[in-house]
Amino acid sequence: MRVAVYPGSFDPITNGHLDIIERASKIFDKVVVGVLNNKNKKPQFTAAERVSLIRAVTGHLENVEAASFDGLLVDFAGRHGANVIIKGLRTVNDFEYEFQMALLNKTLSDDCETMFMMTNSKYSYISSSMVKELAGYNGNLEGIVPSEIIQYIKEKCGQ
């Protein structure tokens, strides 16, 4: 069985993330979305909330799961029997950092391959930080995050 992990902060999940998850779910037998529970970062949404939001918008994808993790990504991948890490690339700005992480992860676990998917051009400008800022100013989030979680995000971001 080909299992991939798709890691990130997902604070919160956006339509750009969901597009990558949907495309990856067609390529792999199972995709495990890994939500980093990093105590050094100060997320707006708790890890449990981020996992729930992901589950709420991926219910139509039978081979997608979501779970939080702390510690190393390669260990999380190993626990889930995954030997592929999926990453989405939006712009060339993403590349350098992602390239570094891919090489580091390859050094940590030689069996684990990082595979990059280019973002859908419709979503290349979307980021979770932009979503939080927009939500904080009561901006329109239609088309930017899945509609079923807009209200929750707005309430949580102060609107």
By CB under 6 A, name the binding residues for ligand PNS.
Answer: 7-9, 36, 72-73, 101, 104-105
Kindly state the DSSP code that residue 141 receives in the 8-state scheme.
-
CA–CA gap between residue 124 and residue 17 (Å, rounded): 10
Which residue of the set 41, 42, 60, 121 is catalytic?
41
Sort residue 73 into left (φ over 0), alpha (ψ -120 to 50) or beta: alpha
Residues 17, 80, 87, 132: which is the catalytic one? 17
CB 11, min distance to ligand PNS, A: 8
Q: Which of 56, 44, 47 is nearest to 129 (CA)?
A: 44
Q: How far is the CB of 118 from ligand PNS (least distance, A)?
A: 16
Comparison of 36 and 153: residue with beta carbon closer to ligand PNS: 36
Q: How far is the CB of 122 from ligand PNS (least distance, A)?
A: 19
**Distances, alpha carbon 157 to alpha carbons 30, 44, 86, 131, 153, in Å:** 32, 8, 28, 9, 6
User: How far is residue 47 from each of residues 29, 71, 74, 89, measured CA to CA in Å?
Assistant: 25, 14, 19, 23
Partner residues linked to 32 by β-bridges: 5, 65
Least separation in angstroms between residue 44's CB and ligand PNS is 13
Nearer to ligand PNS, 106 or 138 (CB): 106
109 belongs to the catalytic site: no
Active-site residue, 90 included: yes
Which of 23, 90, 106, 154 is flagged as catalytic? Answer: 90
Query: The tokens of 115 are what?
Result: 């595979």
Which of 9/58 has CB closer to ligand PNS? 9
User: 50, 68, 128, 156: which is the annotated catalytic residue?
Assistant: 128
Active-site residue flag, 156: no
Residues known to be catalytic: 17, 41, 90, 128
